[in-house]
A = this chain, B = another copy of it.
């Protein structure tokens, strides 16, 4: 088969760009750093949204929508927040044909404006917790943009909650981290993330704790796939989110925020993609089974349509490709690029023998199956390949993760994968030194893999890596 993409081993970043272009997932937008998400890419994003939204609602949060435009002074009220975001802001200075009295920023995130409204809506402890989420676009000016990974505009969900006390806020930030995000990443995206705590240096601007989910990409680098933050009382104090406590007296609330974005599309590609294109885990895939008429022939189109209907009736997301005037090879290459989990090829020769051919994207296997057994074979393949993709990614992560004892060894290991090193052997100074060499502490975890409450706990493991 002709080479369709630059092989990953030859040039991973180039392979990534090639795949996005040839699978028609996205294009660069006309304003530097922006992107156009094409239908094939957006369909995957819609499935991500649906799965994530279900989980967010199950965790009790309600969707709302806050404005794109934020008065510049809002950003300034929380000192670390403004410092963190100032270099990345897009500023609107003219509206309706006139200069504006006060500049407006395009939201880089919505803690400030949501804080303002939480202050209005919360009166008493009975109004807490207040659990909000929004699906929105945000803007952070990017000097080195890369589609899905770093774009000046991206799509995301951002959750914002207010609680009566620190324990409740912490429990909720952790609930989102594990029940919503980790479950989504592992069981839908098939990405075996490491869940941990960011160091102070890597924390979100204005947070007291930042939790993260880190995935290893196909080139051994790390990608942050989602974060959940405890904001302490920082934003509650900046925006005066107070409530009358059950015991009397006014208290400041404790807030959290948490987000995942179109960056997940980049993580999906770099975790599961191979040299033939994307591989989409079946549970996520907008099209799980792609029924192809190989070429015209007696009863072929009818048999393919019947299979499409039978698969749909069995609950499979299915599409039918009967474009027999386009060469089959080209359509098959395109189906591989787009990563449909299973192809069902229906052609005159196999059909004469009573068979369709089930082609699995994950391992490339092609199996002739009696037409009557095809639905069962597809369902079995979808089940098996969800697990297979996850396990393949886990095996890669394990093979490229090294346990080391010193910073020097960790920096060496980070050239090709991840290093696990005692945090006590790195520390704040070691972290700065690593940063100077393009390596970051992705997160801190406990020896048993659980998430620390503080970076000062004894015996923590730091995971060091290069990252996107």
A interface residues, Cβ below 8 angstroms from B: 27, 29-31, 34-39, 42-43, 45-46, 62-71, 74, 86-97, 103-104, 106, 113, 116-117, 120, 132, 136-137, 139, 141-143, 152-153, 155
Contacts and interface: CB of A to CB of B under 8 A. Distances in A.
Contact of A116 (B30, B92, B132, B155): B30
A96 B92 contact: no
A91 B90 CA distance: 10
Contact of A113 (B30, B103, B143): B30
A30 B155 CA distance: 22
Number of identical monomers bound together in the oligomeric complex: 2
Given A89-B97, A90-B92, A93-B93, A63 B36 contact: no
Contact of A30 (B46, B74, B97, B139): B74
Contacts of A96: 87-90, 141-143
A122 B120 CA distance: 50
B91 A93 contact: yes
Contact of A86 (B38, B46, B88, B97): B97
A345 to B, nearest CB: 22
Contact of A68 (B42, B71, B132, B139): B139
Contacts of A29: 66-67, 69, 113
Contacts of A103: 94
B104 A97 contact: no
Contacts of A91: 92-95
A124 to B, nearest CB: 12
A42 B134 CA distance: 10
A139 to B, nearest CB: 7
Contact of A37 (B65, B142, B155): B65
Nearest to A139: B68
A24 to B, nearest CB: 8
A38 B67 contact: no
B43 A62 contact: yes
A107 to B, nearest CB: 11
Q: Which of A69, A86, A153 has its CB near the most chain B CB atoms (within 10 A)?
A: A69
B90 A31 contact: no
A365 to B, nearest CB: 30
A39 B67 contact: no
Query: What 7 A-B pairs are tightest by C-beta distance, nearest first?
Result: A96-B141, A34-B67, A39-B62, A29-B67, A91-B94, A37-B65, A31-B69
A92 B69 CA distance: 11
Nearest to A27: B117
Contacts of A92: 90-93, 106
A30 B105 CA distance: 12
Contact of A42 (B31, B65, B70, B139): B65
6 contacts: A29-B67, A31-B104, A42-B64, A90-B95, A136-B137, A137-B137
Nearest to A46: B63
Given A27-B117, A31-B69, 16 more contacts: A29-B67, A29-B113, A30-B113, A30-B116, A39-B62, A42-B62, A68-B68, A68-B106, A69-B153, A89-B95, A91-B93, A91-B94, A93-B93, A96-B143, A136-B137, A137-B137
Contacts of A95: 89-91, 141, 152
A38 to B, nearest CB: 6
Given A29-B69, A30-B113, A139-B68, A63 B42 contact: yes
Given A27-B120, A95-B91, A64 B37 contact: yes
A47 B87 CA distance: 38
Given A93-B93, A104-B31, A67 B153 contact: yes
A95 B143 CA distance: 10
